[in-house]
Amino acid sequence: MTILVTGGAGFIGSNFVLDWLASNQQPDLSDETVINLDKLSYAGNLQNLQSLDGNPRHIFVKGDIGDSALVADLLRRHSVRAVVNFAAESHVDRSIHGPSEFIQSNIVGTFNLLETVRAYWMALPEAEKTAFRFLHVSTDEVYGSLKKEDPAFTEENRYEPNSPYSASKAASDHLVRAWHHTYGLPVLTTNCSNNYGPYHFPEKLIPLVIVNALAGKNLPVYGDGQQIRDWLYVKDHCSAIRRVLAEGKLGETYNVGGWNEKANIDIVRTICGLLDVLQPRADGKPYANQITFVADRPGHDRRYAIDARKIESELGWKPAESFETGIAKTVSWYLSNQEWVANVQSGAYRDWVATQYGNNAGGDAA
């Protein structure tokens, strides 16, 4: 048996591949191969998967989900029994400055992938057809923004995306739903809150704060810093996806959250406090002195919050990490993996950050 993971060299995708191949929770799948398809755009990084070099259960293929011939060949040749679709452009600031790539990747790419998978699925023998799954990984940003007093997003919230990124993901979610109701494709969808953890590309808030703090740079915070997000440790997200893939009800959506609502400014201050202990500044001053407030970005959603009771009550999943334990593990990982950080920051990424933010290199809180 084989699963196809798209976008498996990105942040969440690579963590999922690593966890899937290391997981002892599925002894019946201990020999299952992972086909990892990623086009290696700016956020795709094969160094994330370096520990899998020589592992016969991991087959990496450089390619695009929109390449129907390639995807069809992989599905047939490897007798794929499930597709887990992480492939997406996911950076809000990038979507504001260049939305066309998001339309192409997140909408057109998902359409092409769905059509290719549908053709493969329809030709399967009945038993394999019944067992097949297509799991689409999405975001809480499709639901729009919450006021401080509003209840958290449930799976019943209507879609109100506010950025080109979230609009493109909302469109992809609608396509997945339609392919299930129209054609019977056995789909599952997850909508997650803000992820953090190892291998997070350092244009996003948490890794960029760590990187900038250690480099002695400003730590820019958009607006008043009171934008609130629910934070989910990436390995908890991976365990949730495994559970949904194994036990989720076809056609259903499951919100995946960490039950950790935090304001951006509190996230930044927490990281500064951890660094003060783990790697103090040479001058003995607190890293919080580097915090600076900058103009807010256009259409910045004020609050996201996930109500994850459905996945807990129906599938028995809940996060293992609190924010306090998860952020401590994350900061420690970045301190121990400075070579990875340096490599990721080189070349085109560094040039883009300079163009986007100038000397105040800020991060995407999503």
Give the tens place of pLDDT for each residue, 10-58: 999 999 999 999 975 454 555 789 999 999 887 788 889 999 999 999 9
- Sequence-ordered list of residues with C-beta below 8 angstroms from that of 50, at least 6 positions apart, any chain: none
Phi-psi region of 349 (alpha: psi -120 to 50; beta: other; left: phi over 0): alpha
Eight-state DSSP code of residue 282: T
**Among 296, 304, 271, 20, CA closest to 139:** 304
CA separation for the pair 239, 151 (Å, rounded):
25
Write down the pLDDT at residue 342: 87
Task: Give the distance between the most distant pair of CA atoms in the chain.
Answer: 68
CA separation for the pair 288, 268 (Å, rounded):
8
Write down the pLDDT at residue 91: 67
pTM, full prediction: 0.90
Q: Between residues 96 and 77, which one has the greater pLDDT?
A: 77
In the structure, what pLDDT confidence band is assigned to residue 157 with cuts at 50, 70 and 90? Answer: very high
Which entry of 64, 89, 93, 140 is annotated as an active-site residue?
140
Percent helix, strand and coil across the chain, each to the nearest 5 = 45, 15, 35
Task: Evaluate if residue 357 carries a pLDDT over 90.
Answer: no
**Which of 167-181, 206-220, 261-275, 335-349 is predicted with the least confidence, judged by mean pLDDT?**
335-349
- HSE (side-chain half, CA atoms, 13 Å) at 156: 3
Q: Quick check: is 73 catalytic?
A: no
In the structure, what pLDDT confidence band is assigned to residue 351 with cuts at 50, 70 and 90? Answer: low
Q: Quick check: is 199 catalytic?
A: no
- The arithmetic mean of pLDDT across residues 125-145, rounded, is 96
Q: Between residues 351 and 299, which one has the greater pLDDT?
A: 299
Residue 248 tokens, joined: 């989720």
| 275 sits in which H/E element | helix 264-278
Name the β-bridge partners of 34.
Answer: 3, 58
CA separation for the pair 216, 272 (Å, rounded):
12
Q: What percentage of the chain carries pLDDT values higher than 90?
A: 75
Which entry of 120, 165, 199, 304 is annotated as an active-site residue?
165
| 178 sits in which H/E element | helix 164-183
- The arithmetic mean of pLDDT across residues 124-128, rounded, is 97
- Tens of pLDDT along 209-255? 999 999 999 998 989 999 999 999 999 999 999 999 999 999 999 99
Residue 205 tokens, joined: 């808030």
In the structure, what pLDDT confidence band is assigned to residue 279 with cuts at 50, 70 and 90? Answer: very high
Write down the pLDDT at residue 44: 82
| The pairing of beta strand 228-233 with beta strand 261-263 | antiparallel
CA separation for the pair 178, 156 (Å, rounded):
17
Write down the pLDDT at residue 361: 42
Q: Quick check: is 141 catalytic?
A: yes
In the chain, the N- to C-terminal Cα span, in Å, equals 36
Task: Evaluate if residue 146 carries a pLDDT over 70.
Answer: yes
300 within 8 A of 364, measured Cβ to Cβ: no
Ranked by mean pLDDT, the top range of 26-40, 83-97, 144-158 is: 144-158
356 within 8 A of 97, measured Cβ to Cβ: yes
Task: Evaluate if residue 365 carries a pLDDT over 50.
Answer: no
Write down the pLDDT at residue 355: 56
Write down the pLDDT at residue 32: 87
Task: Give residue for tokens 């999943």.
Answer: 317
| The pairing of beta strand 187-192 with beta strand 253-256 | parallel
44 within 8 A of 38, measured Cβ to Cβ: yes
Which entry of 89, 141, 301, 307 is annotated as an active-site residue?
141
